[in-house]
Amino acid sequence: MQISDLPYRDPGVPDARSGPRFLVWLGRGQLGGQLKSLCWGLLHFSGVAGLPYAVGMGVGAVVDRDSTRLLLVGGLLALLGVAISVGDAMLHRTAVTNWITAAARVQQLLARKTAELGSALTRRVAAGEVVAVSTADVEKIGWFVEAVSRFLAALFSVVLICVGLLFYAPDLGLVVAVGVPLVALAALPLLPRATQRADVQREKAGKATELASDTVAGLRVLRGIGGEELFLGRYREASQEVRKASVRSARMWALISAIQVLLPGALMITVVWYGAALVADGRIAVGELVAAFSAVATMLYPLRHFEEIAMAYSFSRPSATRAARVLSLTRTEEGEPPTAAVAAAPPAPAPAPGGDLYDPETGLLAAAGRFTAVVCGDPDLAGRLAERLGGHPTDTAADGPSVLLGGVALDELALDTARTLVLVQDKDPVLLSGTLHDLFAVPSSGAVESGAALAAAQCADVLDALLQSAPDGVDDPMDARITERGRSLSGGQRQRLALARSLVTDPEVLVLDEPTSAVDSHTEARIADGIAALRAGRTTVVLASSPLLLDRADRVVLVHEGAVAAAGTHRELLHREPLYRAVVTRETEDEQGLARVQLPQLEALTEIEESA
């Protein structure tokens, strides 16, 4: 595959059982590119391997004063030079292609897994590890894939030089044939320790990256409480630990590099000393000694690739292990047999439009085309329930039955189909950098315009703020840019823009988890009216405890301890359900008796807030 053909139509299904297995799978997927790189490498290194013999023959021709043979040797040297140049250029081209295409395949796999898991990814893998895998680890995995073909070509050239010397100068060739394997394998005992130190370095670097990511994400809060210096101090300490681990790792690799220089030098001295004695005894010619010396000197170049492949594997193995760990994650917990069974079974037919959403585990029923509000006393339970309603649970609750939409289990649908039918907006939605046009460029039914969604989410002040901060020449707020994660906006502004984005998609079922927790009560009341009006005839489920939202819902369901405890309208439940009243009004048990007397006043107050 060429770089111009990227991205892959289908990056494939990786073997994520372990890091080495993942590397083998990745290599198998690039056999064509590896073969091309190997062929060009063989041409390059064959030219390198032929140089010592051509030099030896040239010296012999000079000693014998044979001009014809010397001319032929000159032509051979020119041919070898062309082979070395062309082979090296094409080897670099194909090897880098292998690197980039391998890295692109891994990045596509990670992007696909991220899209599959959604917000569940960072709950099961640290954010810093995800960042490390998708950046530095991808590069190191690509490095190993690139280095394999070069190593094989270098190995071929070393074997070719040794075999050639055995035929060309048997006495010296035997010394070289025995010495080269010792030189090549001398650093092998040091590799486990070098790998261990590299693993420690990677682990500390991942923790430092995670700490940096968390610090940047919470910088505004840290500044508000004056804690930025504390976290910066922690990052400095983590950075120093990474530096120390890197120095320890570099020392080991420096020792390996020194061995790769020292031992070939010792072998070269041995060849020269022994060869000079053979020449003095008349057992070999001067040209043969020069050829043997040149061969040993030339082998320093391919032997460096032995060190490179060892380094590449040592660095890429932990990176591949981390990538495999992320790629092995599934929508349910590891070891669950239903996941494999669902994957192997044919996809279920999509439910007919207008079906009820039903959760067998809690007994929650959201009627088709109605605005249903769900009240949970436990915010964590509300978050897990929202994920279940979306068909992608992330905890052990996934062992329960699947949520049904129109009588069809969401877990039996293809992931794309399930997410087209049911959209879940969690309580901490993320805004990516870009313009508002980019923000609303999401898959949608096309029935809801961005202007209507922004109006329903009460985003007029957000548009004004973006337009005021936009550079000169930007007259349309839709062309104004949002900074990374929307950090230039307040929490309420980010929340309303995310709500508008969800409304634009216009899914069959929209699940909102605390969509107005960061706005004031008057804005919240208008947003509730906007959602009810814009989603009329569509199924909407809102998990919230705000009376202003609950009063707009067609039906309110109280979920307590994982099961439906009561259902009705907001005002009905206020009258007859003490538990509901305690959750919504946050009353204590002592206050509930007084609240029963004050319910008419509470209702009157709600009506006043609505009119305001």
**Angle, in degrees to the nearest 10, between helices 170-185 and 286-327:** 20
Per-domain boundaries in the chain: 15-326, 351-431+502-611
Q: Return the pLDDT at 393.
A: 58
- Range from 74-78, 401-405, 602-606 that averages highest in pLDDT: 74-78
Q: Each residue of 33-68: pLDDT tens digit? A: 899 999 999 998 888 888 877 888 888 888 888 888
Counting Cα atoms < 13 Å in the Cβ hemisphere of 161 gives 36
Count the Cβ atoms, other than its own, within 10 Å of residue 293: 19
For residue 453, name the pLDDT band (cuts at 50, 70, 90).
very high
Kindly report the CATH class assigned to 351-431+502-611. alpha beta
398, 418 in Cβ contact below 8 A?
A: no
Rounded to an integer, what distance in angstroms lies between the CA atom of residue 103 and that of residue 142? 5
Q: Return the pLDDT at 350.
A: 63
- With CA atoms as reference, report the closest residue to 11 among 19, 1, 21: 1
If one compares 172 and 499, the residue with the highest pLDDT of the two is: 499
497, 463 in Cβ contact below 8 A?
A: no
Q: Is 355 helix (H, G, I), strand (E, B) or coil?
A: coil
104, 6 in Cβ contact below 8 A?
A: yes
In eight-state DSSP terms, residue 8 is P
171, 284 in Cβ contact below 8 A?
A: yes
120, 394 in Cβ contact below 8 A?
A: yes
Element (H, E) at 127: helix 127-132
For residue 352, name the pLDDT band (cuts at 50, 70, 90).
low
Identity of the amino acid at 148: V
Q: Is 1 helix (H, G, I), strand (E, B) or coil?
A: coil
**539-543 and 509-513 beta bridge pairing:** parallel
In eight-state DSSP terms, residue 426 is -
In eight-state DSSP terms, residue 377 is S
Tokens describing residue 94: 């194909």
Kindly report the CATH class assigned to 15-326. mainly alpha
**pTM for the full predicted model:** 0.60
Per DSSP (E only), the strands in 503-599 are: 509-513, 539-543, 555-560, 563-568
In eight-state DSSP terms, residue 135 is I
